[in-house]
Structure 1
């Protein structure tokens, strides 16, 4: 009679232990995917804001108001020095998806309304559509738009994502 070949119980246990060790060392690499995805989304939003600001500046230049020190309206967008202002009438109107009823984003102007910050709704108040600039910056995971301050100082946009704060 032939003896059937197969794995012994000890061999199976050794394989399971090895797989467990591999899983423990590989899991942290895959656990950080949400943080990376949120950072990538913020980079995409930054690009959208920069693109919208550039388009509005181009329209301001065509209309001859790119050097205006006072708020001017260009295609229903409030501008200063040709770039959108850092509030609901400026950059929010220029970028589709930043409105107060947005599914994903929540934003607010700083006290002096020279900066506008945007983050994920789920990081601030999941059931609410409003947040203060202080609440948004406290997340450590946001995009900041600074409006132009002079003819030679254009509007700027930057992503702030401190460490693993975008979880």
Structure 2
């Protein structure tokens, strides 16, 4: 029996992909990329929400620190007070039952280390609710007294000051528009 010589360099049918198979795979990958890419490209909403959650945590911590300082200074039972945070004899933050009040320029804002260029904040008429959002969302930087510019974004924080002895403050992140 004679052996057939091997044909080296010959590609048999059935190896590799046809052009139509490659085109189908590329089209499927394109469709997947088109549907998945927007989820990864526009992360602005997630970033805004994360920034607000971080600031809300800072507000809660700041409120607790001011309350502790008001206990030390014997002001935690007073309906209104003024706490000296750094011991220099000057009032640093206005309080209500020991917690920072919600006044837009004398309360919780003074317990936060934030830049006016990055934030827009406001209070309501009776100064018992404080609103804050990013300057980008609020359309302004620094103090702005019309809270509708903040609440209309649906991406902001509300800070409600203590309303009675023994009650704490309430910090809430509204993130339906982030």
TM class, shorter-chain normalised?
Answer: 0.7 to 0.9
Partner of 2:98: 82
Superposed displacement of residue 73, structure 1? 3.3
What RMSD over aligned residues (CA atoms) do the two structures have, in Å? 2.2
Alpha-carbon distance in 1 for matches of 2:64, 2:138: 29
Number of equivalenced pairs: 160
**SS of match in other structure, 1:123:** helix
RCO (CA 8 Å, sep 6+): is it higher in 1 or 2?
Answer: 1
- The higher radius of gyration belongs to 2
- Flag as ranges the 4+ runs of structure 1 deviating above 3 A: 1-9, 128-131
Whose helix proportion is higher, 1 or 2? 1
Alpha-carbon distance in 2 for matches of 1:26, 1:86: 42
Superposed displacement of residue 16, structure 1? 1.4
Alpha-carbon distance in 1 for matches of 2:120, 2:65: 23
Alignment TM-score, normalising by the size of structure 2: 0.80
Gaps of 5+ in 1: none
Gaps of 5+ in 2: 1-7, 86-91
